[in-house]
Amino acid sequence: MDIGIPKESRAFEYRVGLSPAGAEILVQSGHQVFVQHEAGLGSGFHDHEYEKVGARIVYSAEEAFGRANFVLKISRPLKREIEYLTPGSILAGLLHLPSCSQDQIDSLLEKKITALAYEQIADQDGRLLVLQPFSWICGALLPQIAARFLQNDCGGKGILLGGLPGVPPAEVVIIGGGAVGFSAAKALVGAGAHVTVLDEKIEKLEKLAEQLPGVVTMISTKRNIERATAYADVLIGAVLVSGQRAPIVVTREMVRAMKPRSVIIDVSIDEGGCIETSRPTTHENPIFIEEGVIHYCVPNIPGVVGRASSHAFLNAALPYILAIANLGMVEALRQYPALEVAVNTFDGKIRNLARLNSRAG
């Protein structure tokens, strides 16, 4: 296959769709790899590292997309980038299509693009195999984000996340006990915070209680969410329903009842957000204040640790990328069932996207 690696064009996205190590493996398997000039720079990978392993450098996004029948990205392509795609080609990335505009979906369908959403690749137990390392990274970053916006100079309450002898730590409430929630709870406990995790599945709470003694666990009923948000200094929304927009689990009324200058971090913003008052922000302007509460709603949190994220991504995604390149999409789907649930569009039709299935022709 001809494989394209465009430079990520969204602001503050430092990751790259394939590292030089991954390019080397694909080249050795007989594939052509076209890497856009400086595509890997944000992750610390230089053009000469790609050339050394046999990849070819191209000097425009149009060429990186247009010369490929299999495009590897991280963030969802912009509308102009979808126009560069060759009809009938394969696009893989963290696409988050349930939260994108309908015209982008229409463009993918019109060009009969096979859109593979990395965030939906899952085994029979529902584990999100490629998203998981990004979730771990995101969880590990949350303590430093929370600590920063609790500071007075950032508009916060002036609370030390881990407390001091004689001074209690911050109360952190996490809604969602999946990979992000678990990773965040582990990191926040390590930072000394007092952590409460809510989830609708008792199995996840049992795992948390067993592996992280001291974490308070609660079933995420509306009443329990109301109680927990009312005492939270930091509220983390980490709700994910694969292939769907994140459900709203925290209402505006609940936010209004929170303590003034507390902090909300809505990690679910990639899927539209799980908190009613959330709206996307950027790493440059990461917060806004709504109902007297600081909101941090940056969609691509792991994007600012590009090198670590790109290495972690390669470890998780390479077997599937290699299978598609070597076998073709149809045979890869047959041999790798985890891919089947991640195909969002195929041959002009919608698949595995609950929000959009009703619109499929």
Among the listed residues 96, 199, 233, 266, the single catalytic one is 96
DSSP code, position 18: S
Partner residues linked to 3 by β-bridges: 33, 70
Separation CA 274–CA 246 (nearest Å): 5
270 counts as catalytic: yes
37 counts as catalytic: no
Contact call for residues 156 and 146 (beta carbons, < 8 A): no
Q: In what order do the strands lie in the sheet with 114-117?
A: 56-58, 32-36, 2-5, 70-75, 90-94, 114-117, 343-346, 349-350
Our CA angle for 76, 78, 60, nearest 5°, is 105
In degrees rounded to 5, what are phi and psi of residue 120? -110, -5
Among the listed residues 199, 233, 266, 270, the single catalytic one is 270
Separation CA 143–CA 298 (nearest Å): 15
In degrees rounded to 5, what are phi and psi of residue 24? -60, -45
Separation CA 58–CA 39 (nearest Å): 10
Longest dimension (CA), the chain: 65
Q: Which residue numbers are catalytic?
A: 96, 270
